[in-house]
Amino acid sequence: MKNVKVKHPHTLKSLAELFLVFLKLGAFTFGGGYAMISLLREAVVEKKKWLSDDEMVEVIGIAESTPGPIAINMATFVGYKQAGVLGSTVATVGVVLPSLIIILAISLFFEQFLENQFVKYAFYGIKIAVSILILNAAIEMIKKMEKKVLPILILVAVTILMLLIELFNLPFSTIYLILIGGIIGIISYGLSLKKARKKS
């Protein structure tokens, strides 16, 4: 794979365009990064023609296999491709700004807001709904997972461990679980290489 080419030189107008496209994405995507993929495709592939469909798939792949919110990964990548590091910065600030402003406004009166009786009742319903949405996301992802013994074993073990950690308030950081998973991945790859070498 060759490195990404940056379209130089960029103008103030092209930077403003980049900023506005991502500002809109940040303001109108509800429900997290995955919801952004379809909107991003519409804006960046169909309207602006900044990326081809193949490049779009590549961006999603990179976004999913690197840490951080998917929306940020995508904004940084598309911004870089259009106008280098400056473009990345402009696109990322654009996608973050709507959240920042809206949440800052909400945070000012959040606790008073929660004291209202009707709001309290509504939140009982909303909290249950949010947990159903999260469970649904988990089930959808697990359905697409490869059905092999090791990943399923890890999945079950992590789920049980995490439930115990949560319910007994155990001081164990989930970051370690993620690192252990990665190490198991590398070891099992190493072992499969060894096996393949023995056979040949």
Binders of another protein in range 1-60 (CB under 8 A): 1-4, 26-36
Q: Please list the alpha-helical segments (H only) found in 116-173.
A: 117-143, 149-167
Please give the C-alpha separations between residue 96 and each of 28, 36, 106, in angstroms, as whole numbers. 12, 13, 16
CB nearer to another protein: pick between 50 and 92: 92
C-alpha 47/C-alpha 74 separation (Å) is 17
Q: Does 134 bind another protein (CB under 8 A)?
A: yes
Query: Under DSSP, is residue 66 helix (H, G, I), strand (E, B) or coil?
Result: coil
Query: What residues between 75 and 104 interact with another protein by CB under 8 A?
Result: 76-77, 80-81, 85, 88, 92, 95-96, 98-100, 102-104
Minimum CB distance to another protein, residue 168 (Å)? 7
Work out which of 56, 73, 90, 94 binds another protein, going by CB under 8 A.
Answer: 73
Site for another protein in 161-200 (CB under 8 A): 161-163, 166-169, 171, 173-175, 177-178, 180-186, 188-190
Report the C-alpha gap between 116 and 137 in whole angstroms: 31
Residues 146-165 close enough to bind another protein by CB under 8 A? 151-152, 154-159, 161-163
Degrees (nearest 5) of the Cα angle 92, 84, 9?
125
CB of 3 to another protein, least distance (A): 6
- Residue among 57 and 114 whose Cβ is closer to another protein: 114
Q: How far is the CB of 87 from another protein (least distance, A)?
A: 10
Smallest gap from Cβ 25 to another protein, in A, equals 9
Residue 93, φ and ψ in degrees, nearest 5: -60, -40
Q: Looking at beta carbons only, is 20 or 137 nearer to another protein?
A: 137
Task: Write down how long the chain is.
Answer: 200
Give how many residues touch another protein by CB under 8 A: 103
CB nearer another protein, residue 52 or residue 99: 99
Q: Are 172 and 158 in contact (CB under 8 A)?
A: no
H/E segment holding residue 97: helix 70-115
CB atoms within 10 A of CB 81: 20
